[in-house]
Structure 1
């Protein structure tokens, strides 16, 4: 539990540099459909199979009938966690050279550089329970460490995507990107 708290504080510190720019739940602008260089630009929506409904689990439960201390609420959270840990991925993406934007959630690094991180679809995803489904979390291993700086809350990642599950204290990832380049986020065309 202590490790999760420390990781959450690190996450908040990493995202805190841009707190004035984003509200919890904010998503980045949808990128242009055209490829940037030799990379195919994709979004988090592309990481979900077309026939998968991430909200299906909520249709089984009447949330308005539950209180926080209700044992059924804890049971519901366990069901959500299990369903989202098993969220299906899109096999056709494996091995593709992709470019995608998201919010950086530091996993490994120090006060100068980040060596491993999660890429998530919306601001604040690392501090909410439950975290996004596994097919909406990407484990990123940059070729070279990413400098810590004020622009690193939202980033573009260029690299090779693979289907590789990763369990972390901040959420489970269904994909991995071996990043060739990580750069501060700017809307395409700027």
Structure 2
């Protein structure tokens, strides 16, 4: 009877097979978050972008009631600036880990497959959405269970530059999730 431990060649092949299988296990179950560089939300905003530059003429609108047509025009202009917010091209393809809050987009009985990741509680739900460069459209190949709207999470995966729109807001980034876990501080 042949035994793999009885041969140095077989031991080397066995060791290589174990390493390969362990690596595949990490892919199946989601890589460790230590394998991803932590990204801060402010890093998603280009250094030279200042949305206030688009609203230098606001002083004369400060005292108007919400029902004034000029206020609605201002809101529409703000949405356009926010929805077209520029992204940081050098982040494309980076493997990152970022904390945020879930805004569900696609959920079924199996779980959550698509959501927006936003930097603060209530974004896109109880208030106007943040700029597109502060919203990440996250997709997961496997359904995620145990997460609700506004769950605080860490998401790890590969960042992309993909502008998408939804009823909840426009996103400037996309992320293919490799791992989503409840937020614990680190």
TM interval, shorter chain, is 0.7 to 0.9
Deviations 1:56-90 (A, max 9, x none): 33433135222110110000001001111110000
Q: 2:37 aligns with which of 27, 36, 40?
A: 40
**In terms of Rg, which structure is larger?**
2
CA RMSD across the alignment: 1.8
Q: 2:121 aligns with which of 102, 120, 123?
A: 123
Q: 1:150 to 1:177 in 2, by over 3 A?
A: closer
Unaligned runs of 5+ in 1: 1-35
Determine which structure has the larger helix proportion and give its number. 2
Q: Alpha-carbon deviation of 1:38?
A: 2.1
Q: 1:125 to 1:151 in 2, by over 3 A?
A: closer
User: 1:60 maps to what in 2?
Assistant: 57
Q: 1:171 to 1:57 in 2, by over 3 A?
A: same
Q: 1:99 aligns with which of 92, 97, 100?
A: 97
User: 2:4 maps to what in 1?
Assistant: none
Q: Alpha-carbon deviation of 1:145?
A: 1.3
**SS of the residue 1:45 aligns to:** helix
Higher relative contact order (CA 8 A, sep 6+): 1
Q: Alpha-carbon deviation of 1:48?
A: 0.2
Question: Are 1:87 and 2:93 matched, yes or no?
Answer: no
Aligned residues: 153
